[in-house]
Amino acid sequence: MTTSLKQALKSHFGFDNFRSKIQEDVVKAVIRGDRDVFVCMPTGAGKSLCYQLPAMLADGITLVISPLIALIQDQVDHLKELNIPACSINSKLPANERHLILADLGSSSPKLKLLYITPEMVASPSFQPCLTNLCSRGLLSYLAVDEAHCVSQWGHDFRPDYLKLGKLRARLPGVPCLALTATAPRNVQEDIVQSLSLNSPLSFVTPVFRRNLHYDVIFRDQLPNPFAHLYTFIKKALALGSGSNGQGCGIVYCRTREGCETVAHQLTKLGILSKPYHAGLKAGDRTEVQNDWMQGRMLVIVATISFGMGVDKANVRFVAHWNLAKSLASYYQESGRAGRDGLPSLCRAYYSPKDKDQIYFLIRQEVIRRQEKRGSVKDTDKAPITDFEAMVSFCLQESATRKTLVTKPHLFF
Ligand code: ADP
Ligand code: MG
């Protein structure tokens, strides 16, 4: 099963591997088709694939609900490039094209695999006969509700039309529903499950993507003064306070020793006492810096990723990445050191194309070095590159999504 899934992933989407274990698990759960599925993963984690791959492996059509025509258009264009039969019915569609689509849907074996639609359109009377007809012929494989937090009044993007999806579900008996979102607060999740009448859904929530952590990405090269920007962020994060645990503290991660030294120096100059921590320091000095930070004598530690293993401090109010992490998995692990006490905390990644190119270069060199040493090439050699690409696309997506649609919980701003 796994091999054929991987083959399908490769042949339809060109990917060698699933982006994460959770992405693979969701795909398998959707394909099993015996339960509704709820997915909460951060932007860029690859939620679309969770219904797109099952859609390709099913006989019928997958109906995808998405809130904005612009988002739908992006996805449909992308799928068409991959030669995947996908299209969208929306208010902007010329009548003749709409006619062609409806004709295909009405035929005995429709060619279409993915039909994207806005919630307004799915509720419109003109579309009902087509829908009922597909359902009664058993041709609806899945109902996927993307950006499912739009159903919740707690979220930032509440869309009244999403509330109609509950009724839609009632008219599609036996069609498993998959709800996807990047918005994690529990009340939003509860609204989604209730409004879409998800029936004891299998729930997949990225574990380290915790509800009290607020993620964002800043393009570093576009800032007039990056250090001042970081300083302002730290001030804001530390002002969040820390309940009964006293003053909060934070971690800035840098890729190099020099980076740590520079950032610590700049922050101290701006008025936040901070110290560097990296493998270039004497063991004694390193321990001292760590202790100062652990015991709250110094609030901000500027460290390479050698810092943090086994460090468990409850009141870390922020983790900032001055350079990109090498994979999404490391990013969540490192940023997940914030907010262990469950209180609101900030996770920020500073993105820079130059930084990205450098890290790419280093990772590629490492891959080549390993191949030369072994004298052969393996499929899995590329994994570090794919992993890093996931991190990069998270950053790009995060900032792009922010412009079109706020999909993140704004817990405390
Ligand atoms: P989300 O909806 O979770 O924000 P998307 O579905 O838009 O994320 O996917 C983000 C990016 O990740 C897209 O460019 C997509 O092509 C890519 N992607 C998804 N799955 C994989 C995978 N298994 N391997 C490599 N890239 C992937
Ligand atoms: Mg998405």
Same domain, 187 and 298: no
* Residues belonging to the chain: 413
Same domain, 178 and 224: no
Domain-located, residue 379: no
For residue 89, how many other CB atoms are within 10 A of its CB? 22
Same domain, 280 and 146: no
How many domains, in total, are found in the chain? 2
Residue that finishes a domain, picked among 156, 188, 205: 205
CATH number at 115 reads 3.40.50.300
* CA 282 / ligand 2 centre spacing (Å): 46
Same domain, 193 and 292: no
Complex prediction ipTM:
0.99
Provide mean pLDDT across the span 94-123.
93
> What does the alpha-carbon distance between residue 295 and residue 291 come to, in Å, rounded to a whole number?
6
188 versus 218: the higher-pLDDT residue is: 218
Ligand 1 pocket at CB < 6 A? 15, 17-19, 41, 43-49, 386, 393, 397
Among 27, 48, 66, name the best residue to mutate to test ligand 1's pocket (greatest count of ligand atoms within 8 A of Cβ).
Answer: 48
Domain extent at residue 286: 213-355+388-411
Ligand 1 atom nearest the C-alpha of 146 is 2
Domain-located, residue 257: yes
The residue whose C-alpha atom lies closest to atom 12 belonging to ligand 1 is 46
Residue 264 is predicted with a pLDDT of: 98
Domain-located, residue 60: yes
Domain-located, residue 378: no
Q: Which pair of structure tokens corresponds to residue 261?
A: 């030294």
> What does the alpha-carbon distance between residue 245 and residue 234 come to, in Å, rounded to a whole number?
18
Same domain, 258 and 176: no
Residue that finishes a domain, picked among 173, 205, 237: 205
Ligand 1 atom nearest the C-alpha of 47 is 3
What's the one-letter identity of residue 85?
A: P
The CA R_g of the chain, rounded to the nearest whole Å, is: 24
Same domain, 64 and 154: yes
The residue whose C-alpha atom lies closest to atom 18 belonging to ligand 1 is 46
Strand partners, 274: 300
Same domain, 92 and 130: yes
Residue that finishes a domain, picked among 205, 234, 261: 205
Same domain, 58 and 79: yes
- pLDDT tens for each residue of 338-354: 988 888 899 999 999 99
Contact 298, 267 (CB under 8 A): no
Same domain, 179 and 305: no
- pLDDT tens for each residue of 126-153: 888 999 999 999 999 999 999 998 998 7
Domain-located, residue 361: no
C-alpha pair distances (Å), 41 with each of 143, 321, 407: 18, 20, 11
> What does the alpha-carbon distance between residue 118 and residue 259 come to, in Å, rounded to a whole number?
47
Domain-located, residue 382: no
Provide mean pLDDT across the span 279-292.
92
Same domain, 20 and 153: yes
Ligand lying nearest the CA atom of residue 23: 1
Contact 195, 167 (CB under 8 A): no
Same domain, 296 and 186: no
CA atoms within 13 A on the CB side of 51: 32
* CA 137 / ligand 2 centre spacing (Å): 29
Same domain, 184 and 217: no
Contact 219, 400 (CB under 8 A): no
pLDDT beyond 50 at 408:
no
Concatenate the DSSP letters of all residues of 125-190 into one string. Answer: GGGHHHHHHHHHTT-EEEEEETTGGGG-TTSTT--GGGGGHHHHHHTSTT--EEEEES---HHHHH
Residue 243 is predicted with a pLDDT of: 59
Provide mean pLDDT across the span 207-235.
88
C-alpha pair distances (Å), 233 with each of 216, 226, 240, 267: 11, 11, 11, 11
Taking each continuous run of H as one helix and of E as one strand, the counts in the chain are 15, 13
Ion ligand 2 — residues with CB < 5 Å: 47
Domain-located, residue 398: yes
pLDDT beyond 90 at 21:
no
Q: 45: which DSSP letter?
A: S
Contact 392, 324 (CB under 8 A): yes
Task: Give the lowest-confidence range in 34-43, 161-170, 327-336.
Answer: 327-336
Domain-located, residue 362: no
* CA 42 / ligand 1 centre spacing (Å): 11
pLDDT beyond 50 at 44:
yes
Residue 314 is predicted with a pLDDT of: 85
> What does the alpha-carbon distance between residue 223 and residue 230 come to, in Å, rounded to a whole number?
10
